[in-house]
Amino acid sequence: MIRYPSSDAGWNFDNSYVRLPEFFYSRVKPTPVAAPRLVVLNARLAEELGLNAEVLKSEEGVQVLAGNRFPDGAALIAQAYAGHQFGHFTRLGDGRAILLGEQLTPEGERFDIQYKGSGRTPYSRGGDGRAALGPMLREYIISEAMHALGIPTTRSLAVVTTGEEIIRETLLPGAILIRVATSHLRVGTFQYAAAFGSVDELRALADYALDRHFPGLEADHRYLGLLREVILRQASLVAKWQLVGFVHGVMNTDNMTISGETIDYGPCAFMDAYDPATVFSSIDIHGRYAYGNQPRIAAWNLARFAEALLPLIHENEERAVELAQEEVSRFPDLFRREWLAGMRSKLGLAGEEAEDETLIDDLLSIMYKHKADWTNTFLALTFNREETLPMHGTPEFLEWLGRWKERLGRQRESEEQVRKRMRNHNPAVIPRNHRVEEALEAAEKGDPDVLHRLLDVLSKPFAHTPDQEEYAEPSPYSCEYRTFCGT
């Protein structure tokens, strides 16, 4: 194992996860790669982490990003977890990911730095542990776009190619993503402890999660408080997904974080025409994780989290179930409240009125009937471009516009204040599926310029500048879009 002093690049590790019982992880080294090459580096994120971007770009830095060399203090572990995948429980773990270490920033914040696509681990279950360039760049693009949209998410520090090909349906260029997260604790991590570990190991994990993510929780009922806080964060997160038309694609319990961050951008995409049944994943043939199902699935996943915590919530199992059910039952209202607040902002509405829900639901019905683009409908309303919408001139839409304008007229705000609220909550651009594919195809052919232009446009989604207009257009193709998980 080749190590080098961490001071030049700014690596500053303090690896708390390895202080848990080894039941929760395995020590493993990334598999060396032949000829690593940097494709994209997130210099701004590097700076936030206290890292020197210029050193990371150097030959030695790229060797570290590829997993051929390691800074002093690296953890080098694969985490164990379990999960319900499409409703079926199974034992899992980091099958192609290795935690490099926990970086402490100059401000004292803690972030996991993880390789994705770094080779086999004890949890690979027969897989090669590798990743292709396309899916790694997809995660980079969409995770950084989500961050710019103000949605909690894991982030992407860099993507490097390996100089090797991997076998999927065809031979593809191999790559490694360096992912950044406040932690990689998942609902599935708790399911793993509850199903295969002892109560003491479950308690150690829960205490660790509380100390890392919720240090302010009071000592009394702390495990019930953990459940409550995770429910709150997930209600807010999924509401934000719905507000921008994001479809995660694979909402298994091992893809739900305790921190409330979006994780694992596999078969994900953004909806064009509004349709609650929208599915992009090639393997979700029954629509379990369709756009409209995401709130329901989040509640289902949180119920599994609650089940895992039962031994800690109360010594009496019946009482523990009652307490857990009470918390989980709050999710629909918490989600609806977050979603309604976001929809009011998208429509420029201040305060709350009894008819707001009907006004919003009626607009969605009209959008669905006329196959209106999700993002561009709200942009048209923001900038008084209703004539560009497919339902323009229809009696139902004219009637809705009248009710909306009457509602706005009852507010004690100027029109400019209303429009400013709408501009700040309706992005000019999202990662349009055809634009993402265009960038991936060009990058795979050795042209990174298309990728960098897209990343630049997506980094300022609420700027509403002329250079964003061409990226706001829906796909000119009518074919059904499909994505793949990349494994």
Amino acid present at 79: Q
Q: What 3-state DSSP class applies to 152?
A: coil
Nearest to 474 by CA among 402, 332, 376, 370: 376
Distance separating alpha carbons of residues 263 and 155, to the nearest angstrom: 9
Torsion of CA 267, 65, 438, 428, to 10 degrees: 80
Cβ count near 199 (within 10 Å): 11
What lies within 8 Å, CB to CB, of 289 at 6+ separation is 247, 248, 249, 250, 251, 279, 281, 297
Distance separating alpha carbons of residues 98 and 101, to the nearest angstrom: 9
Cβ count near 405 (within 10 Å): 9
Cα dihedral sign for 67, 71, 72, 76?
A: negative
Cβ count near 59 (within 10 Å): 8
254 is catalytic: yes
Distance separating alpha carbons of residues 12 and 399, to the nearest angstrom: 60
Identify the H or E element spanning 111.
strand 110-116
- Residue 167: phi and psi, rounded to 5, are -100, 120
Active-site choice (94, 112, 254, 284) = 254
Of the chain, the end-to-end C-alpha distance in Å amounts to 27
Q: Contact, 118 vs 31, CB < 8 A?
A: yes
Cβ count near 370 (within 10 Å): 17
Active site residues: 254
